[in-house]
Amino acid sequence: MRLKKFLLVAYLSMAACAAGWWGMAADGWAGERIVRSLAQPRRQPADELRQPRYVERESHRGWQLRYDQFQVTASTTADDAQWAAGETRAAWETLGALADFWTRIHRRSNFAYASTMVAVDAPPIGATAGPRADMTLVGNQTLIRLELTDDADDDTLQDLAIDLRHATAHAFLHAAQMDQTLPPWACEGLARYVARIDAPAEAWQEAAERLEAPDWSRQRVAPDQLDDSPVELAEPADRVQFFLEGDDARHSQAFFAALERTMAAARPARSQQAAWHGPGTPAERRVRAPALEALLEETAESFARWQQDPLAGQPQLPTLTGQDQGLAARLQRMAFMLKLLDRFADQPRLHSGVKIQEFGQPAAAPAAAKPLADSGDLRRLYRQLVSSDQYWATLTPAGDVLLSVNEDHVREELADLLDPRYGAQHGAGGWRLSCQLPDGRHLHAQLEPAQGTNLRPQVRYELVAVPAATGK
C-alpha cells in the first residue's frame, strides 16, 4: 500500500515537471525567448513587504498608507494619514527631481525601500506644548513623528507641513548617504529649500527660526558615548537657495557640478577616514568639499548682494492703477521674454535708421495690421534655448527654477516666443518687445538697467492706439 502511494506521488510530480517543461519548450518553439533575470523591469516579490497589497488599509495601528520608500500611519483620522502621505510624497519627489542633476543613485529600483516611517498621533494627555514634529534615526530607518490635534487650524497644518517636508528631505538625504558625503550646510540647505516650496512667507519666516539641522553622523567618543556637540554650520543654509535661484539661477549649474564632484571624491575616502582607523576630533572628521569651498569663494560678492535683495536681477514691474488684470499678466510675460532676450539672444547689428523717401511724394501711413517688430528674433531664441546642448537656467514669472534639461517645462514656458502677436527689435537702448492686444492697440515694453541701490531692472511700457482708417 505504501509502495502504491509512493509511486502515485512520484508519477504526479513527474507529470507536473513535464507539463512545466513542455510549456516552456512550447513558448520557446513559438519564437518567444524566456529571459529570467533580476534586472528585468518586472515585480520581484522578495519578502513580505513586496507582496501584493493595498496602498491604503486599516489595522489595529490606525490608518496606513504604504509606498515603496515610506509608510504613513495615523492613529487619529484617515484624512490625517492622507494629508501626511501627500506632503511626504511631494517632498520626496521634489528632492528626487532636484537630485537628478548630480546623482542617479535614488533612481535604483531598490533605493531606500521602506526606509522612512511617518507616525501621526495625538499629543499626550496633559501636554501643554503645541503640535510639533520630530525625527529619529533607528538603524537605517528614519522615524518621523507628528503630533496633531482634532481642532488643528490651517495655520497649524501649514507649520506641520513645513516640518514634515523638512524631515522627509533629511530622510531622503540619509537614505542616499548624502549626509555622509556632503557638508552639513548643504544638506540642511537642500532640506530647507524643499520645505520652503509653496509655503507662505510669514509661515516660512517663523519656521526658518524653528527648524534645526540633524546630525546623524556623530562619532563615538567613548565605548558607550556619542559625541553630542551641537551642529555648527560652516555656511548659512540659505546658500543653497542662492545657488539655485540667485542671479537668475546663473550659479545652479556650477552648484550641481560641485555636488557631483564632492560625492565622487568622498566615496574612496570614506574607507580610509580617521574615524575608523585612528583617533581624531569630530571637527577633523567632518566632510571636506574643496569643490564647494571654491564655489563659495567665487560667489561671495554675489551672495552679499543677493542677501540685500533676493530678487536682484529680476525685472520689476510698474504699479498698474486702473488697468485690467489681463494687461498686467501680459506685461509680466513680456518682462520674462525681455529677460531671456537680454541674457541669451545674439545681439544683432544696429541699423542706421536712415529712411529714403522720394521727393514730392506723400509719406505712407503705417499699416496697422502689420506687427511693429520682427518676430524672427523670438523664434530664433526659442530654437536656441530648446535645442541648446549647453546647460542654462532661469526663473519663471511664478518664481520657479526653469532648467534646460526639463524639456517639457521649457517648451511650456517659452511658448510665447512662437506667438505671432509678439515681435522684438534691438536698438541702442537694448531689446524692445511689442505685442498686439485684442482691442487692436499695441503694447511696447523695454527693460531699463538697474541703477543705484536698486538691483532690479525696471520695466517701461507704452500703449499705442491704432489710428482710425480714413475712407476716401
Count CB atoms within 10 A of the CB of residue 169.
23
Q: Tens digit of pLDDT per residue, the chain (472 long)?
A: 666 666 666 666 666 555 544 444 444 444 454 444 444 444 444 455 555 467 888 888 889 998 889 999 999 889 999 999 999 999 999 999 899 989 999 998 889 888 899 999 888 766 655 556 777 877 678 899 988 887 788 888 888 999 999 999 999 999 998 988 888 899 999 999 999 888 888 888 888 888 887 776 666 677 777 666 666 676 788 899 999 988 888 898 899 999 999 998 876 555 454 443 333 344 444 556 889 999 999 999 999 988 888 888 888 888 776 666 678 888 889 999 999 988 887 644 333 333 444 444 444 443 333 333 455 788 888 988 888 777 788 888 888 888 887 788 889 999 988 988 898 888 888 899 998 888 888 889 999 887 776 778 888 888 888 666 555 4
| Beta pairing partners, 145 | 119, 134
Residues 88-127 have pLDDT tens digits of: 999 999 999 899 989 999 998 889 888 899 999 888 766 6
CA separation for the pair 366, 370 (Å, rounded): 8
C-alpha cell read off for 272: 580610509
| Beta pairing partners, 65 | 56, 72
Nearest of 463, 456, 440, 233 to residue 328 by alpha carbon: 463
Residues 52-70 have pLDDT tens digits of: 467 888 888 889 998 889 9
CA separation for the pair 467, 272 (Å, rounded): 79
Say which residue the cell 523670438 belongs to.
378
Length, in residues, of the chain:
472
C-alpha cell read off for 201: 512667507
CA separation for the pair 93, 90 (Å, rounded): 5
Q: Give the pTM.
A: 0.73
Count CB atoms within 10 A of the CB of residue 370.
8
| DSSP labels, 202-267 | HHHHHHHHH-------PPEEETTEE--PPP--SS-TTHHHHHHHHHHHTTHHHHHHHHHHHHHHHH
CA separation for the pair 295, 205 (Å, rounded): 27
Q: Which residues contact 418 (CB under 8 A, 6 or more apart)?
A: 378, 379, 382
pLDDT of 347 reads 47
51 phi, psi to nearest 5 deg: -70, 155
C-alpha cell read off for 383: 530654437
